[in-house]
C-alpha cells in the first residue's frame, strides 16, 4: 500500500494513502480529541473538536475528515487550535444541560473529559435555560435530550451499523433534536433495541436503565466473552462490579459482529427473572429436598448403573458449551451406549459438503436468498448484516412458508415451493449468498444444490451451539416416550417435558426452575452464561471462548463440570481439566 509522509507536531509520520489526519495521528499515537468521531462510524466533521492547524490552509481543519497529503505539516495542540477547541467546548457546555454532577455518565463522559482537558471551569456563555424532554419509553435505556450534544453518533450507528434507520434529526439549527422515525416516542418506533446507539453515545444522553448510577467505568471490570443467546456468536464484554453483572457491551474488535449486539444478547439475559436453582435437589417421598452434591451425584451414578442403556434417553439444550456437549456425547453415547439422544431445537439441514460461506460474505453479496430462517427474531445481528448489504444495493429474496421478519425488506417473497424462482435470480448474480435455517424443506434443499460452487452457503442454525451438537451427532432423533430414565441438560432453556413418561426417572441439569425441574427426580444446579468458562461454536463453525464474569450462584456448577464430575464418579476417564476437555471437544467438532 502506498504510504504518505507527513509531520504532525514536528514528528515524522507515515500513513496509508487515503487516510485522514486523525487516522494518521492515531497510527503515530498522537492524541487528537474527538466527540462526533467514532472509529466504527464514518466521520462527519460536525463537532469541530478535532480541529488542527494544517500549514497552507486558510482555516483550521477537522482532523477526522481532512485527507493527508505528502509533506503536509500538522499542528494538533498549537495556540489557535486549543483556543478553537475551548471555544467549541464553551459553546457545547452552554447549549443544553451539562451539569455533570447529576449525570449518570459523570466520570465516563467524553464531553466532561474534554472539559477537564481544556480547563472549562465556568460557563462563559449564558447557559441554555430551555428544558428538553426525556424519553424513557424504551424498556432498556432512555434518551435524555438535555445531555445530547447532537454529535449524531447514534444516528450513524443506527443507519450505518445496524441499518435500521430508526434515528434521525428533526428540525434544524439549535432546534435540532434526535428523533425516532417520524417523531414518535422511541418505545413506539421501529427501534429494535439493539443498544448500539447506547454504546456509542459520548455523553449521558443515552443511558442504560439497569446499570445507571451503579458505578463508573473505572470501578468495573470488563470481561471478554462470547454471547451465547443465538448461533451467531457475537463477541461481547461483560461489565461487572463486585460480582454483579451491570451490563453487556459489544466488542468492537470481535471478528463476527465488530461491536454489534442485539436485544437478545445485550439486554434480555440481564432481565431474566426466573428463580434460580442454587442447590442439588433430590426427590424423597414425593418431595424435592435440598441435598449436597455428593449425595446427588451418588444417586445419579446409581441410576445410570441400574438402568439399561437402551432404556435411557438423553436430551440437551444447545445453550451449552462445546465442553458440556462433548462430555455428554462421550459419557452417554460412547461410554454407556445410549442411542436415544436428541436436541431441544432443530438443526439446519446439511446443504453443502464443506461449509464455504461466512457471515462476512453477506456484506459483499449482490443477492441474498434467505431460505427457511428468520434472523430478524432468531439471529438479529445476522439480520443487521443483511440490511446493511441491502443498503449497499444487494437484493433480498425471502423463501419461507412462515411469517418472516425480513419480508418487508425483500424485493421478492416466495413460498418454499417456489424456491426455483429464487435460484434463477441467484444464478444470474455475481456474488449470491444463501442463508438457510432449519425451515428448509428437503425438496428445497435438493434444489438449492444447483447453486453449490456458485453461491456462498451460510447456515443460520436455530438454538445456540447447534453447530457443535450436530457435529458431535447429538441430533440423532429423540423419542421421550421410549425411555424409562431421562437425563436432560436443560441449562437456561425452558421445556415443559411433554411426552415424558409419568413413571420415568428424570435427572435435570438446569439453571432455572421450570415445569420440568418440578417434575424431576434429581435436579443438578447449573451455572448460567456469565458464570462459566469454556468454548462455543457459532453457526459458521468458529470456535470462540466464553469467560466467567461472576461466580456461579449458590452451589451451581458450570455445565461441563457437572458432567465431568459424573464421569469421574463412574470411573470413566474422559477429561478432567477444562483445557483438556476443550481440546478434545475442538477435535471432535472439527476433525482434522
Partner 1 sequence: MFEKVLTRNFSLPRSESIDTYLANGGYQALQKVLREYTPEQVIEMVTASGLRGRGGAGFPAGRKWAFIPKDPQIEKYVCVNTDEGEPGTFKDRELVEKDPHQVIEGVIIASYAVGAHRAFVYIRGEFFLGVKRWIKAIDDAYAKGFLGKNILGSGFSLDLSVHRGAGAYICGEETALIESLEGKRGQPRKKPPYPASVGLWGKPTLVHNVETLANVPHIINRGAEWYASIGTPKSTGPKIFCVSGHVKNRGIFELPLGVPLREILYEYAGGMAFDKKLKAVIPGGASTPMLTPDQLDIPMAFETLEAAGTMLGTGAIIVMNEDTCMVDVARRLMRFFAHESCGHCTPCRTGTTRMLALLEDLEHGRGKAEDIERLEEIASKMRGLTFCPMGDAAANPILSSLKLFRDEYEYHVKYKRCAVAA
The binding site for partner 1 (CB under 8 A) comprises 44-48, 51, 58-60, 62, 65, 67, 83-84, 87-88, 91-92, 94-95, 124-126, 149-150, 168-169, 171-176
Following DSSP, what letter does each residue of 508-538 receive, concatenated?
A: EEESB--HHHHH-SEEEEB--GGG--EEEE-
Determine the Cα–Cα distance for residues 379 and 263; give it in Å rounded to an integer.
10
Q: Shortest approach of partner 1 to residue 408 CB, angstroms?
A: 20
Q: Shortest approach of partner 1 to residue 58 CB, angstroms?
A: 7
Rg (CA), the chain: 27
Q: Shortest approach of partner 1 to residue 213 CB, angstroms?
A: 28
Q: Shortest approach of partner 1 to residue 39 CB, angstroms?
A: 18
Which helix (H) or strand (E) element contains residue 388? helix 380-391
C-beta closer to partner 1: residue 64 or 347: 64
Listed in sequence order, the residues at least 6 apart from 370 whose beta carbon sits closer than 8 Å to its beta carbon are 386, 396, 397, 398, 399, 400, 404, 406, 410, 435, 436
Burial pattern 430-466, b for ≥16 Cβ within 10 A else e, equals ebbbbbbbbbbbeebbebbeebeeebbbbbbbbbbbb
Distances (CA, A) of 340 to 323, 337, 407, 476, 485: 20, 9, 38, 8, 11
**269-275 contact pairs (CB < 8 A, 24+):** 269/229, 269/528, 269/529, 269/530, 270/210, 270/245, 271/140, 271/210, 272/492, 272/512, 272/528, 274/512, 274/513, 274/514, 275/512, 275/513
Distances (CA, A) of 365 to 67, 358, 527, 542: 29, 11, 40, 21
Closest of 487, 509, 561, 299 to residue 291, by C-alpha = 299
C-beta closer to partner 1: residue 47 or 567: 47
Q: Shortest approach of partner 1 to residue 44 CB, angstroms?
A: 7
C-beta closer to partner 1: residue 89 or 338: 89
C-beta closer to partner 1: residue 150 or 370: 150
Query: What is the number of residues in the chain?
Result: 592
Determine the Cα–Cα distance for residues 543 and 233; give it in Å rounded to an integer.
9
Count of Cβ atoms closer than 10 Å to residue 501 Cβ: 15
C-beta closer to partner 1: residue 86 or 210: 86
Q: Shortest approach of partner 1 to residue 105 CB, angstroms?
A: 19
C-beta closer to partner 1: residue 64 or 245: 64
Q: Shortest approach of partner 1 to residue 218 CB, angstroms?
A: 28
Q: Shortest approach of partner 1 to residue 47 CB, angstroms?
A: 5
Q: Shortest approach of partner 1 to residue 166 CB, angstroms?
A: 15
C-beta closer to partner 1: residue 152 or 247: 152
C-beta closer to partner 1: residue 89 or 536: 89
Contact (CB, 8 A) for 199 and 250: yes
Strands 412-414 and 395-399, sheet pairing: parallel
Determine the Cα–Cα distance for residues 54 and 60; give it in Å rounded to an integer.
7
Following DSSP, what letter does each residue of 398-423 receive, concatenated?
A: EE-SS--TTGGG-SEEE-GGGHHHHH
C-beta closer to partner 1: residue 99 or 123: 123
C-beta closer to partner 1: residue 124 or 499: 124
C-beta closer to partner 1: residue 173 or 477: 173
Distances (CA, A) of 196 to 23, 141, 377, 458, 561: 23, 11, 17, 25, 35
C-beta closer to partner 1: residue 172 or 428: 172
C-beta closer to partner 1: residue 128 or 495: 128
Q: Shortest approach of partner 1 to residue 51 CB, angstroms?
A: 7
C-beta closer to partner 1: residue 60 or 471: 60
Q: Shortest approach of partner 1 to residue 169 CB, angstroms?
A: 7
Provide the strand spans (E) within 77-214: 134-135, 141-144, 167-170, 177-180, 206-208
Listed in sequence order, the residues at least 6 apart from 116 whose beta carbon sits closer than 8 Å to its beta carbon are none
Q: Shortest approach of partner 1 to residue 43 CB, angstroms?
A: 8
- Which residues share a beta bridge with 206? 143
Q: Shortest approach of partner 1 to residue 40 CB, angstroms?
A: 18
Q: Shortest approach of partner 1 to residue 59 CB, angstroms?
A: 3
Which helix (H) or strand (E) element contains residue 563? helix 559-569
Tell me how far the alpha carbon of residue 285 is from its chain's centroid: 44
Amino acid at each position: 500500500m502506498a504510504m504518505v509522509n507527513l509531520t504532525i507536531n514536528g514528528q515524522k509520520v507515515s500513513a496509508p494513502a487515503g487516510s485522514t489526519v486523525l487516522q494518521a495521528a492515531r497510527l503515530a499515537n498522537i492524541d487528537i480529541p474527538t466527540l462526533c468521531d467514532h472509529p466504527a462510524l464514518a466521520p462527519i466533521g460536525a463537532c469541530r473538536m478535532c480541529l488542527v492547524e494544517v500549514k497552507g490552509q486558510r482555516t483550521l481543519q477537522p482532523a477526522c475528515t481532512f485527507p493527508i497529503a505528502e509533506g503536509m505539516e500538522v499542528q494538533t495542540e498549537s495556540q489557535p487550535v486549543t483556543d478553537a477547541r475551548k471555544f467549541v467546548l464553551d459553546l457545547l457546555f452552554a447549549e443544553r444541560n451539562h451539569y455533570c454532577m447529576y449525570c449518570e455518565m459523570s466520570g465516563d463522559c467524553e464531553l466532561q473529559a474534554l472539559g477537564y482537558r481544556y480547563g472549562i471551569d465556568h460557563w462563559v456563555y449564558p447557559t441554555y435555560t430551555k428544558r428538553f424532554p426525556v424519553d424513557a419509553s424504551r424498556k432498556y435505556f432512555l434518551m435524555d435530550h438535555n445531555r445530547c450534544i447532537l454529535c449524531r453518533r447514534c444516528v450513524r450507528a443506527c443507519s450505518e451499523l445496524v441499518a435500521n434507520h430508526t434515528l434521525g434529526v428533526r428540525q434544524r439549527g439549535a432546534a435540532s433534536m434526535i428523533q425516532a422515525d417520524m417523531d414518535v416516542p422511541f418505545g413506539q418506533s421501529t427501534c429494535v433495541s439493539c443498544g448500539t446507539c447506547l454504546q456509542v453515545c459520548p455523553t449521558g444522553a443515552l443511558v442504560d436503565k439497569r446499570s445507571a448510577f451503579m458505578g463508573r467505568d473505572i470501578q468495573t471490570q470488563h470481561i471478554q466473552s462470547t454471547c451465547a443467546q443465538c448461533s451467531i456468536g457475537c463477541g461481547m464484554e461483560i461489565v461487572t462490579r463486585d460480582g454483579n453483572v451491570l451490563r453487556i457491551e459489544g466488542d468492537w474488535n470481535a471478528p463476527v459482529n465488530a461491536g454489534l449486539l442485539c436485544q437478545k444478547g445485550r439486554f434480555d439475559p440481564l432481565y431474566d427473572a426466573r428463580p434460580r436453582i442454587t442447590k442439588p435437589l433430590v426427590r424423597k417421598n414425593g418431595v424435592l429436598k435440598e441435598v449436597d452434591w455428593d449425595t446427588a451425584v451418588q444417586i445419579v451414578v446409581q441410576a445410570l448403573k441400574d438402568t439399561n442403556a437402551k432404556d435411557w434417553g438423553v436430551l440437551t439444550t444447545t445453550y451449552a458449551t462445546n465442553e458440556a456437549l462433548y462430555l455428554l456425547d462421550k459419557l452417554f453415547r460412547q461410554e454407556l451406549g445410549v442411542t436415544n439422544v436428541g436436541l431441544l431445537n432443530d438443526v439446519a439441514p446439511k446443504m453443502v459438503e464443506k461449509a464455504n460461506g461466512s457471515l462476512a460474505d453477506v456484506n459483499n453479496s449482490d443477492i441474498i436468498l434467505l431460505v427457511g430462517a428468520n434472523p430478524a427474531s432468531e439471529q438479529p445481528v445476522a439480520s443487521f448484516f443483511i440490511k446493511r448489504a441491502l443498503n449497499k444495493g444487494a437484493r433480498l429474496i425471502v423463501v419461507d412458508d412462515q411469517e418472516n421478519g425480513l419480508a418487508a425488506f425483500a424485493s421478492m417473497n416466495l413460498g418454499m415451493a417456489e424456491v426455483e424462482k429464487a435460484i434463477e435470480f441467484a444464478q444470474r448474480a455475481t456474488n449470491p449468498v444463501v442463508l438457510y435455517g432449519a425451515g428448509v424443506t428437503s425438496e428445497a434443499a435438493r434444489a438449492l444444490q444447483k447453486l453449490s460452487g456458485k453461491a456462498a452457503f451460510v447456515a443460520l442454525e436455530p438454538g445456540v451451539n447447534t453447530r457443535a451438537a450436530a457435529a458431535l451427532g447429538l441430533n440423532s432423533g429423540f423419542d421421550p416416550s421410549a425411555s424409562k430414565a431421562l437425563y436432560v441438560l436443560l441449562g437456561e432453556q425452558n421445556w415443559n417435558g411433554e411426552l415424558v413418561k409419568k413413571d420415568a426417572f428424570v435427572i435435570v441439569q438446569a439453571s432455572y426452575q421450570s415445569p420440568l425441574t418440578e417434575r424431576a427426580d434429581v435436579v443438578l444446579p447449573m451455572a448460567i452464561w456469565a458464570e462459566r468458562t469454556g468454548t462455543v461454536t457459532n453457526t459458521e463453525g468458529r470456535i470462540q471462548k466464553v469467560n466467567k464474569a461472576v461466580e456461579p450462584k449458590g452451589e451451581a456448577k458450570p455445565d461441563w463440570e457437572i458432567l465431568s464430575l459424573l464421569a469421574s464418579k463412574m470411573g470413566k476417564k474422559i477429561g478432567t481439566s477444562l483445557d483438556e476437555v476443550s481440546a478434545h471437544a475442538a477435535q471432535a467438532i472439527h476433525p482434522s
